[in-house]
Chains A and B, each alone.
Chain A
Amino acid sequence: MLETIVSIALLMIAIAMAMLIYRVIKGPTTPDRVIALDALGINLVAIVALTSILLKTSAFLDIILLIAILAFIGTVAFSKYLEKGVIIENERNR
């Protein structure tokens, strides 16, 4: 029963990720692609969580936090590049 529900949820997330990949490829502007990549990362978190339910293991729970942190840092770095043109400044002008 639970496996059926989890499989259906995995299928739904797979469809959502396919639509997001379409947005990454087609996206007219770069911010569209960045947002789609961020959402892809969050969907990957859901995939890992559902897979660890399917496999009945708690070994992947660290990966969830890891993917979330990396998605955040990556999105912030992309956004700063789009906004200022550099990712790491030598000295801020306040």
Chain B
Amino acid sequence: MKTKENDIILQTCTKVVLFIIILFSVHSFFAGHYEPGGGFIGGLMTSGALVLLLIAYDKKTVAKILPIDYKIMIAVGLLFAVGTAAGAIFFNVPFLTHAFGHIDLPILGDTSLHTATLFDLGVYLVVIGVTMTIIQTIGEDE
């Protein structure tokens, strides 16, 4: 006879570690312009955190916590990438030309903002969407 299974250690660890992984992925997403990192590795780490959640709990619980259709996420990410690239056309510059500038934000002060970040956000969303779609499709039994 099998004893009753209880994943209390794994689930409590996941609750702590999950946020560290997501913070790390957000950090490497925003650090991508000046340091190693960027949309691809950030998206992979975020989906790694979601995979850890899927391992510790089950698919129904995760779908209840994060009611996201990852196929729509891929579409939104591609829209961000194409939209950032196509936005350049309206300013009489070639396709995929990016713009940047220094803007005074209320709390952060002088910040250099670049439209490449929006392109990177598209990459980030596509990577999360593709990874989670693959893993959830393979993970489906019966």
Residues of A within 8 A of B (CB): 59, 62-63, 65-66, 69-70, 72-73, 76-77, 80, 83-84, 86-92
Contacts and interface: CB of A to CB of B under 8 A. Distances in A.
Closest 10 CB pairs of A and B: A88-B139, A89-B58, A92-B58, A91-B60, A88-B54, A90-B59, A91-B58, A73-B52, A59-B36, A76-B55
Interface in B1-35: 5, 10, 17, 21, 24, 28, 35
A62 B32 CA distance: 12
A interface: dominant SS: helix
Contact of B141 (A66, A72, A90, A92): A90
Chain B interface size, as a band, is 20 to 34
Where chain B touches its partner, the secondary structure class is helix
B110 interface: no
A84 B135 CA distance: 18
Contact of A88 (B5, B28, B58): B58
Interface of B: 5, 10, 17, 21, 24, 28, 35-37, 41, 45, 48, 51-52, 54-61, 135-136, 139-142
Given A77-B55, A92-B57, 18 more contacts: A59-B36, A63-B36, A66-B45, A69-B21, A69-B24, A70-B48, A73-B52, A76-B52, A76-B56, A80-B55, A84-B5, A87-B139, A88-B54, A88-B55, A88-B136, A88-B139, A91-B58, A91-B60
